[in-house]
Amino acid sequence: MKFSVIFEAQLADPTVEREHQVIRDCVEQAVFAEEMGFDRIWAVEHHSLRWYAHMSAPEIFLTFVAARTKTIRIGHGVVCMPFNFNHPVRVAERAAMLDLLSGGRLDLGAGRGGTRQETSLCGVDPDRTTQEVEEALRIIGKAWQEDELEYHGELIDIDPHPILPRPRQHPHPPLFLACSRAETLVQAAELGIGALVMGFAGPGPIAAMREAYDAAIAARDGGRFVSTAVNDHFSVLCPTIVLDDRAEAQRIGIRGQRFFAQSIGHWYGGAGIPDEAVTEGADEAAELRRAAEQVVARLHEQDIPVRPTSTATFNADHAYGTADDAIAYVERLGAAGADEVMCLIQMGTVPQEACMETLRQWGEKVIPHFRAA
């Protein structure tokens, strides 16, 4: 079992001063994560999503963290791969440079950046994002394994050019794909790349997703591989706040998750207003249920089918509580098939001291339990 921390740089009640502070806080957490024995950090890439994610330039954040650490792996979780966000060659160049300078510590995940807010900002065609992500991964895998890149695909043509520098890891850093549905898990398996499962659904649905991923691995013939280096690593999200006071950890964690769910729902549509998520409730679990009911009502109003994924971010059964509670939850994730637990700690309303204490509790109590096992 591997352990990592993922950063969105979420921000309740954003001002310029608070935004600057939350980025500095994320750096402090990332550096402390190495001290506490975590294996990896991940940084998302989102654009123009006020409240939900202020991590718009993860390559800079990760480079800064890499310069202040020695052993922890540095992960793009993920780069927005549609071409108008990031040209595939520029991704390959930047990632190789970071892998080189970090001593071979980089992992590279790919994703769509699929909100209308983001695609409209950068002129991305929403109907092409899935196809562009896959083509970008093929270009990057090819660029890192040949002296000159030449690529002629359905969406882009690149005449022969050397792509410089080459990464430190051979043949290249491990590749991953953000996965939230069975279709993307099958795609990741067929492409021969790792799965970053970002949902809040919990161990039961994760076990079903692992089964789908393994079935696709067993059925593939290698014809769609994007590289000769195959990566079948299965990482899952683990929202967590761990304190000595179980009730306080649950209150802080569930409130932070409510902010997360309503802020991203604001950009996807129909899931609440960020101002509501910032307001503290007397019973945070009840507020989370009420927010889920709002989502269902709004979807019904728009004649949109209500699927389990519609309210998954409102499931409060996660690693909120004491270190023993977190250990029990991670054991459930391990039984579900997780190779890696991605701790989501920095949610918009969670204070920095609770983030740092959670990292300390994981480093001193939770991770050693599994290392010993």
CATH code for the domain of 34: 3.20.20.30
Tell me the pLDDT band of 103, cut-offs 50, 70 and 90. very high
CA dist., res. 87 & res. 92, Å (int):
9
Which helix (H) or strand (E) element contains residue 95?
helix 88-101
Residue 246 half-sphere exposure, CB side, CA atoms within 13 Å?
A: 6
Tell me the pLDDT band of 314, cut-offs 50, 70 and 90. confident
Average pLDDT over residues 105-121: 94
Domain match, 217 and 253 both = no
- Summarised one tens digit per residue, pLDDT across range 320-362 is 999 999 999 999 999 999 999 999 999 999 999 999 999 999 9
Verdict on whether the full-model pTM lies above 0.75: yes
Return the ∠ at Cα 359 (arms to 358 and 360), rounded to 5°: 90
Domain match, 281 and 298 both = yes
Last residue of a domain, one of 293, 313, 333: 313
Question: 3-class DSSP state for residue 352?
Answer: helix
Domain match, 191 and 280 both = no
Minimum mean pLDDT among 92-96, 245-249, 307-311, 316-320: which range?
A: 307-311
Residue 33 confidence (pLDDT) above 90: yes
Domain match, 116 and 229 both = yes
Q: How far is CA 342 from CA 164, 197, 229, 289, in A?
A: 31, 9, 23, 24
Domain match, 20 and 62 both = yes
φ, ψ at 72 (rounded to 5°): -65, 140
Last residue of a domain, one of 313, 333, 349: 313
Average pLDDT over residues 119-129: 95
Reading the block at residue 32, the tokens are 């402390």
- Length of the chain (residues): 373
Residue 269 confidence (pLDDT) above 70: no
Q: Are the CB atoms for 4 and 235 separated by under 8 Å?
A: yes
- Nearest alpha carbon to residue 360 among 25, 22, 108, 37: 37
Last residue of a domain, one of 313, 346, 362: 313
Residue 271 confidence (pLDDT) above 70: no
Domain match, 131 and 209 both = yes
Q: Which pLDDT value is given to residue 301?
A: 76
Residue 278 confidence (pLDDT) above 80: no
Q: What is the largest CA-CA distance in the chain?
A: 62
- Nearest alpha carbon to residue 40 among 11, 1, 93: 1
Minimum mean pLDDT among 63-72, 167-176, 190-199, 263-272: which range?
A: 263-272
Q: Which pLDDT value is given to residue 272?
A: 56
Q: Which pLDDT value is given to residue 302?
A: 73
Q: Are the CB atoms for 110 and 177 separated by under 8 Å?
A: yes
Domain match, 274 and 157 both = no
Q: Are the CB atoms for 141 and 293 separated by under 8 Å?
A: no
Domain match, 258 and 135 both = no
Q: How far is residue 214 CA from its own chain's centroid?
A: 21
Minimum mean pLDDT among 18-32, 200-214, 259-273, 350-364: which range?
A: 259-273
Block residue for tokens 């093929």: 138
Pairwise pLDDT comparison (263 vs 124), residue with the higher score: 124
- Summarised one tens digit per residue, pLDDT across range 175-224 is 999 998 899 999 999 999 999 999 898 999 999 999 999 999 999 999 99
- Nearest alpha carbon to residue 268 among 180, 159, 327: 180
Query: What is the overall mean pLDDT for the chain?
Result: 94
Residue 168 confidence (pLDDT) above 70: yes
Average pLDDT over residues 308-312: 72
The range of the structural domain enclosing residue 109 comes to 2-244+318-372
Angle between helices 16-35 and 352-361 (to 10 degrees): 10
Quote the percentage of the chain above a pLDDT of 70: 96
Quote the percentage of the chain above a pLDDT of 90: 83
- Nearest alpha carbon to residue 80 among 47, 128, 120: 47
How many domains does one find in the chain? 2
Domain match, 155 and 283 both = no
Q: Is the bond preceding 171 in cis, omega lying within 30 degrees of 0?
A: yes
Q: Are the CB atoms for 6 and 40 separated by under 8 Å?
A: no
Pairwise pLDDT comparison (276 vs 3), residue with the higher score: 3
Domain match, 94 and 194 both = yes
Q: Which pLDDT value is given to residue 248?
A: 97
Q: How far is residue 228 CA from its own chain's centroid?
A: 25
Domain match, 139 and 287 both = no
CA dist., res. 140 & res. 122, Å (int):
21
Domain match, 33 and 148 both = yes
CA dist., res. 86 & res. 129, Å (int):
12
φ, ψ at 114 (rounded to 5°): -90, 5
CA dist., res. 57 & res. 80, Å (int):
11
Tell me the pLDDT band of 235, cut-offs 50, 70 and 90. very high
CA dist., res. 209 & res. 186, Å (int):
10
